[in-house]
Structure 1
Amino acid sequence: MEKSFGQVMQEWLYGDQGYYRSAHIGRDFYTAVTLSKLFGGSIARHILSLLDSSALDSSVLESTPLSLPLHIIEIGAHHGELMCDVYDFLSALSVGVMEQTRFSIIEPLESLRKKARETIAQRAITQVGTLDEIALDEGESVFIISNELFDAFACELVCIDGDQELLACVCCDGAKAPMSLVWRDLHGLAYGDCAMDSSLESSMRHRARRIREFMQRFGITSGEIPLGWEEFIARICGFASRAKSWRFLSFDYAGLGGTGGGQVFSLRGFFAHRVLGFPEIMQNLPALFTRCDLTYNVDFALLEQIFAAHGACKLFSGRLSALLVEFGLITLLGELLEHSPSEYRTQSLRARELLAGSLGEKFMGVCFGG
């Protein structure tokens, strides 16, 4: 039988034996969270700047502050380390803020929630499985955080060959394991003007139509097509619109405008800190299935389009390194040097990786509000 690549990627990452159900971050890849607590500390300083109206006149990042009471929410919290860092720094850097602030983390995978419960056990942080489980108090402002979230959505792959749009499909054996990649005419698959292989399920035609409609709606010609973004962003904007004011700050692999019409994809795998390119993944599908991470560059222009379609606007964006400096990471290092020289030595090396290492350049942050 055949499935679209997006269907296989969903099973690869989130199925019963999916990679994210057992992945140990640090084994195959690092994140800004695992590199340094100052990542969360810098976000905490940014939140405090939004609560301090006197700081806004000089800020190039914001025009409208948040206010107390405040609800801070992390989506895709994994083991909960980022929220714990934000919590600890807010507690250390502020007076009177913690008493009027609620903290919630959202992690849909139960296997990860178990570890997160241990991580947050000593802090007043609530854990839930979905955004629908969170009720806002009257007059609350909301600050939502995500890190490496949008690149974890399964994506379809579409390339251009002459005047044809080709959709990546995967031949699977009876045990549903992927065996090989094939390319199908997307228009023909969607509207039935080409011969369909008998192994294709009827649902493929509906999925192909969804892919073409998504591409047409947002002006996409090829590349990674993250169908799940739109429904997810609609839920975020619908939830946040009930708050007094809101911000959504997200960090992810940078992609400044898509792959641009060709057969080059940013899709790649991470296995034991080795990057696997798209051709290598396709040549070794059965061996790599569920055993390595799959990710791709986030098209921030597309992200902005979808948020705008749901009533939100982009407030700022920039490279991770530049934003962390703007948020006050250097100031945090100076305070750490004054109070704990030994910890400063450790954190300064890690901060250097955030600012000058590959993460600082390859990652981008963006903030939306309504």
Structure 2
Amino acid sequence: MKFSAYMQEWLYGNEGYYRNVRTIGKEGDFYTAVSTSMFFGGSIAKRLISTIESGFLTSSCTVVEIGAHKGYLLADMIQFIYTLNPELLQTLTFVIVEPFSANQAMQKNYFEEAFGDAVKVLHVKRLEAFTCKEAFFVANEIFDAFPCELIKEDQMLFIEKDQAFFETMDSETKAKAKEYGMSKGELCLEYEPFADAMNQCCERFEFVTFDYGDKEARGDFSLRVYANHQVYPFFALTDLVEEKLREKSDFNGFFAKADITYDVNFSHLFYAFEKNGIHVHDYATQMKALVDFGLVELLELFAQNVSEKQYEREMNKIKTLIDPSFMGERFKMACFRKGEA
């Protein structure tokens, strides 16, 4: 089978990695910005408020998180909205796009524990099943989990009988590789359908997303497996590299038990959205984006209401988000808009 089908089964099949409830953070396979500090969601909430105050969206828009895991990001946003502009909680609608029932149940339980009856969150299984007039979409680390093809010149990766090998590329993949000007690396064919679905479901929106990667293709493979905070280059788990570069484990041993991911090529993402008439409003490192969104102002407000020890503890978490040697430069923010004059 093509590698994209194998990756789809690994992550989203009946026993897939994301189909079951997974722990993210110290006890899981990896950290995310959401699991690091509540100020990640707080900064995005401040961005939402600014977007409303600027007049691009109204106070009755729908706030939609895609790929919410336990729902911590949206919950953090709601908590900061309550602190900064509580009246908005009476007019905003909150939605999570979540395909898996177990995750939906987990998210509902978390919101009930956090907010009781004060906040209602609606669920839809697919973006295609959702419609609204105006929305603020948010996502953290979703595009690195879109199944991709691995291409090398005129070949692409296949998986058969637990073996990985390169064979001649099919015509669809070949055409897309030519369109994107790619000859080696990860090629995702799902960005364009995703952008089309977002375009179809909403008349006017802002979409803020964070992920790791770069603006241009690196011309090499970045596919890797995360297991218990250890990183394994995918090809080091196969016999496609010389023996001295191989890991002791085989990639099949990690199937559906660990995360598999790759660097996002943001130029491909931009192309997919622009092809659907959605323009790139902003692009920045995570560090710059969070500061631009209002992280410093939030910290000043926080410092006025907590002890020095509490402030220092939170600052240590935030350093992970913005330090260039951690998440600050490695992760990027992209902001897309539809409906802007």
Give me the TM-score of the superposition, normalised by structure 1: 0.82
Corresponding residue for 1:323?
289
Amino acid at match of 1:184: E
Q: Supply the distance in 2 between the matched residues of 1:83 and 1:149 (Cα, whole angstroms).
A: 15
Q: How many residues align?
A: 318
Once the two structures are TM-superposed, the CA of residue 181 in structure 1 deviates from its matched residue by 1.0
Corresponding residue for 1:47?
48
Residue 221 in structure 1 maps to residue 187 in structure 2: no
Residue 114 in structure 1 maps to residue 105 in structure 2: yes
Aligned to 2:328, what secondary structure does the other structure show?
A: helix
- Structure 2 unaligned blocks of 5 or more: 240-249
Corresponding residue for 2:23?
24
Corresponding residue for 1:204?
none
- 8 A contact 2:138–2:209 mirrored in 1: yes
TM-align CA RMSD: 1.6
Q: Supply the distance in 2 between the matched residues of 1:81 and 1:281 (Cα, whole angstroms).
A: 33
- 8 A contact 2:98–2:126 mirrored in 1: yes
- 8 A contact 1:158–1:168 mirrored in 2: yes
Corresponding residue for 1:197?
none
- Structure 1 unaligned blocks of 5 or more: 54-63, 173-178, 187-207
2:65 to 57, 60, 74: 74
Amino acid at match of 1:291: K
Corresponding residue for 1:153?
146
Aligned to 1:360, what secondary structure does the other structure show?
A: coil
* Cα offsets for 1:29-88 (capped at 9, x unmatched): 0000000000000001111112223xxxxxxxxxx7222221110011111110001111
Out of 215-224 and 10-19, give the one that drifted further. Answer: 215-224
* Cα offsets for 1:134-164 (capped at 9, x unmatched): 342xxx531000100111111110012xxxx
1:268 to 216, 224, 228: 224
* Cα offsets for 1:341-369 (capped at 9, x unmatched): 25323211111111115111211000011
Residue 281 in structure 1 maps to residue 237 in structure 2: yes
* Cα offsets for 1:156-197 (capped at 9, x unmatched): 10012xxxx11111122xxxxxx11111022xxxxxxxxxxx
Once the two structures are TM-superposed, the CA of residue 210 in structure 1 deviates from its matched residue by 2.0
* Cα offsets for 1:103-132 (capped at 9, x unmatched): 111111223222111112233222221224
Residue 130 in structure 1 maps to residue 126 in structure 2: yes
Q: Over alpha carbons, which structure has the higher Rg?
A: 1
1:304–1:135 distance in 2 versus 1, CA, 3 Å: closer
Corresponding residue for 2:245?
none
| Counterparts of residues 162-241 of structure 1 (less than 5 Å) | 165-172=154-161, 179-186=162-169, 208-240=170-202
> What is the percentage of aligned positions where both structures have the same residue?
31
Q: Supply the distance in 2 between the matched residues of 1:301 and 1:250 (Cα, whole angstroms).
A: 14
Q: Supply the distance in 1 between the matched residues of 2:236 and 2:179 (Cα, whole angstroms).
A: 32
Give me the TM-score of the superposition, normalised by structure 2: 0.89
Corresponding residue for 1:355?
322
Q: Supply the distance in 2 between the matched residues of 1:355 and 1:285 (Cα, whole angstroms).
A: 32
Q: Supply the distance in 2 between the matched residues of 1:355 and 1:217 (Cα, whole angstroms).
A: 35
Amino acid at match of 2:122: T
Once the two structures are TM-superposed, the CA of residue 95 in structure 1 deviates from its matched residue by 4.4
1:101 to 58, 67, 92: 92
